[in-house]
Amino acid sequence: MTYNLVLSFLFLFLFLLQFTCILAQAPAMAPMPPTQSLAPASLPPAQPSAPASPPPTISSPPAPISSPIVASAPGPPGPPNVIKILAKAGSCSTFIKLLQITQEVSEITSLLNNSNRITMFVPSDGAFLNLKTGTLNSFSDQRKAELVKFHVLTRYFSLLQFQTASNPLQTQAGGTTNREFPINITTNGTAVDIATGIVNASVTSTIFNDNQLAIYQVDKVLLPLQFFVPPLPPAPAPAPPKPKKDVPSTDSSPVNVVPSDATSLLPHILQGIVYPGSFFFFSLCFEYMS
């Protein structure tokens, strides 16, 4: 009678142990998008050319970069109205249309309203006209949304701060690895240049700057490399990732991926305890029963 009771408890115990083991293992097995090429992302921002030999001549005011609309005193409460700013600046109607049809304008407004700081690159209408005919129309709605986000940085850069930007920079469209949506920014004196791998563009003027939102006009549409060159194949054998917690926020650096070795050991340790344990308990049971 008591043996039976003890046996039942033992089996229940073992069953629960196995169950927890399986549970502990499951998340570790869950596939995750390959987070490859950690190395390039953590490289120092090598800026091969012009290594500070001509120290940034800050003293001379940026000649070509005029600032037609500079922070109009204490504005009304609430985030700046990006559409109004662009409409006032002129020759931004194509980008305004894109901001509206992709809903990006409400995203930007809400980011600004939550005290996030943003940098936008706005190609002029002329820049859109210079695209190969039909380029924009050939983009799906998703592509159009990615294209607009590719022109937005969820960080604020003044013109001077571009000089210390560490490439590659993450745009709102996505990460900086595996041909995602990074841009490189280089400066030469007062010139600010943007490289996407497909186009080299230059900042031609400051449209708006209030130390939270900076809007710069650029002379070319920033076309993402990923639109034209397929992403690299995933790494052959990605290490078992650590159990997924919450979704990483877009503005967090993609570099801080914790090596998953430590966490993935846990199931093995549990197995090491459970399996010999079961064997021991089963031997005990058989001894009692016989």
Ligand X SMILES: *[C@@H]1O[C@H](CO)[C@@H](O)[C@H](O)[C@H]1NC(C)=O
Least distance to ligand X, CB of residue 17, Å: 49
**Are the C-beta atoms of residues 121 and 87 closer than 8 Å to each other?**
no
CB atoms within 10 A of CB 239: 12
Tell the smallest beta-carbon distance from residue 260 to ligand X (Å).
25
Give the pairing type, strands 118-123 and 169-170. unpaired
Contact between 81 and ligand X (CB under 6 A)? no
Size of the chain, expressed as the number of residues it contains: 290
Q: How far apart are CA 81 and CA 108, in angstroms?
A: 10
Q: Count residues contacting ligand X (CB under 6 A)?
A: 17
Residue 46 binds to ligand X (criterion: CB under 6 A)? yes
Closer residue to ligand X, CB minimum distance, 46 or 247 = 46
- Does residue 238 belong to the site contacting ligand X (CB under 6 A)? no
* Residue reference for tokens 């004196």: 189
Comparing CB distances to ligand X, the nearer of 135 and 167 is: 167
Q: If binding is defined by CB under 6 A, does position 87 make contact with ligand X? A: no
Question: Binding mask 143-162 vs ligand X (x if CB under 6 A, - otherwise)?
Answer: --------------------
User: Quick one: which of 18, 37, 116, 200 contacts ligand X (CB under 6 A)?
Assistant: 200
Of 4 and 110, nearer to ligand X (C-beta) is: 110
Residue 86 Cβ, how far from ligand X at the closest point, in Å?
Answer: 17
Residues sharing a CB contact under 8 Å with residue 24, sequence separation 6 or more, in sequence order: 266, 267, 270
Please spell the DSSP secondary structure of 4-72, one letter per residue.
HHHHHHHHHHHHHHHHHHHHHHHHHHS-------HHHHHS-----S--SSS----SS--SS-B-SS---
* Shortest separation between residue 264's beta carbon and ligand X, angstroms: 30
Burial of 16 (0-12, 13-18, 19+ CB in 10 A): exposed
Nearer to ligand X, 114 or 140 (CB): 114
Among 91, 154, 167, 250, indicate the residue that binds ligand X (CB under 6 A). 167
Q: How many Å apart are CA 83 and CA 80, to the nearest integer?
A: 9
Contact between 116 and ligand X by CB under 6 A: the answer reads no
CA distance 216 to 203: 6
Q: Does 42 bind ligand X (CB under 6 A)?
A: no
Work out whether 199 is an interface residue with ligand X (CB under 6 A). Answer: yes
Q: Is 78 among the residues that bind ligand X (CB under 6 A)?
A: yes
Contact 203, 194 (CB under 8 A): yes
Q: Whole-number minimum distance, CB 270 to ligand X, in Å?
A: 42
The site for ligand X (CB under 6 A) is made up of 46, 49-50, 78-79, 109-110, 113, 167-168, 184, 188-189, 195, 197, 199-200
